Amino acid sequence: MALFDLLGRHWAMGVLWTLNEIGPSTFRRLQDECETISPATLNKRLKELQVAGFVHRAEGGYATTELGRDLYERLRPLGEFSKDWARHLSNL
């Protein structure tokens, strides 16, 4: 699955998620929101996500495309799941 290859890289899902959550933002803003990401990695991920058609440059910096928002919607179940998962881990 080529999608897993793209998303299965450090910060790929995190960047897409964050960009959807905070809306269009500059490189530096995104870097701050992602806290521990390095600029080199952020830059790389952003380029990959642009080639993939999930992100593009817009007013206000980087933003998700329609396709990127679509993908985000399908990523959201994972967000919910992660709560269930946290509960599971604490019930050990």
Query: In whole angstroms, what is the distance from residue 80 CA to residue 14 CA?
Result: 15
Cβ-Cβ contacts under 8 Å for 48 (sequence gap 6 or more)? 6, 9, 12
39 binds, among DNA, its own copies, none (CB under 5 to 8 A by kind): DNA
Query: Would you call 89 exposed, middle or buried from its count of C-beta atoms within 10 A (0-12, 13-18, 19+)?
Result: exposed
85 binds, among its own copies, DNA, none (CB under 5 to 8 A by kind): its own copies
Contacting its own copies (CB under 8 A), which of 53, 57, 58, 60?
A: 53
Q: Which stretch binds its own copies (CB under 8 A): 5-13, 23-31, 55-63?
A: 5-13
29 binds, among its own copies, DNA, none (CB under 5 to 8 A by kind): DNA
